[in-house]
A and B are shown apart, each in its own frame.
Chain A
Amino acid sequence: DAGVIQSPRHEVTEMGQEVTLRCKPISGHDYLFWYRQTMMRGLELLIYFNNNVPIDDSGMPEDRFSAKMPNASFSTLKIQPSEPRDSAVYFCASSLAPPGPAANYGYTFGSGTRLTVV
């Protein structure tokens, strides 16, 4: 398996532009997570999905952020309009359905998208 695949790896955009981050989870994983990592706030959970349905979006900072999962193999995180304070590394992760001590249960992270808004 190729793991969790995120694109693009790097994105530089001007303030006010729309940004779309993409994620392909590991096939068969029921859960998908979006995290944001910054120096100031560390790793923050933005939103997560179970079977393509958003379960908890309480971490989404404001209405400018939206996330979708139209099918089991694809998710997007969109920022519109983007602002300089949105600059961060955005990670996507996926996992099998919890709970349970299955040997292969765990969270696998993508390589992240480094977003810079200027």
Chain B
Amino acid sequence: AQSVSQHNHHVILSEAASLELGCNYSYGGTVNLFWYVQYPGQHLQLLLKYFSGDPLVKGIKGFEAEFIKSKFSFNLRKPSVQWSDTAEYFCAVSSWGKLQFGAGTQVVVTP
């Protein structure tokens, strides 16, 4: 069965620190990979997506993610976070239409 694992449930860091959120998936076929962000009280918004090609994907707001096929991983990174990046981040995998989410990582950025 398809599954998505996010390594950390909660991350607290200071402004200007670097962020990396881990995501691993298990599925043997072709998958599409996503990172979504949910700001407090809001709905899910797409940060970036990977389908094929360059495994380093750049998204909005300075985020990027790297797809490592051999490790079944799709880790999210941002070199320097801001207070406004406080949110919950979800990794998601889709295969033939069905989109499945990881448990999410709550990120708190302190001033």
Interface residue ranges, A against B (CB under 8 Å): 31, 33, 35, 42-43, 45, 48, 50, 55-56, 91, 93, 95, 97-101, 105-112
Contact = CB atoms under 8 A, between A and B. Distances in A.
Interface of A is mostly: strand
B17 interface: no
Nearest to A100: B51
A31 B97 contact: yes
Given A35-B101, A99-B97, 20 more contacts: A43-B104, A45-B101, A91-B44, A93-B44, A93-B99, A95-B99, A98-B32, A98-B94, A99-B32, A101-B32, A101-B51, A105-B32, A105-B51, A106-B34, A106-B46, A106-B49, A107-B92, A108-B46, A109-B45, A112-B43
Contacts of B80: none
B96 A99 contact: yes
5 contacts: A93-B44, A98-B32, A105-B32, A108-B46, A112-B43
Contact of B97 (A42, A48, A101, A112): A48
B98 A45 contact: yes
A99 B49 CA distance: 13
Category for how many chain B residues contact A: 20 to 34
Interface of B: 30, 32, 34, 36, 42-46, 49, 51-53, 90, 92, 94-104
B44 A109 contact: yes
A42 B99 contact: no
Nearest to A103: B51
Contact of B96 (A33, A98, A101): A98
Contacts of B42: 111
Given A98-B32, A101-B51, A43 B97 contact: no
| Among B34, B51, B95, B96, residue most surrounded by chain A Cβ atoms (within 10 Å) | B51
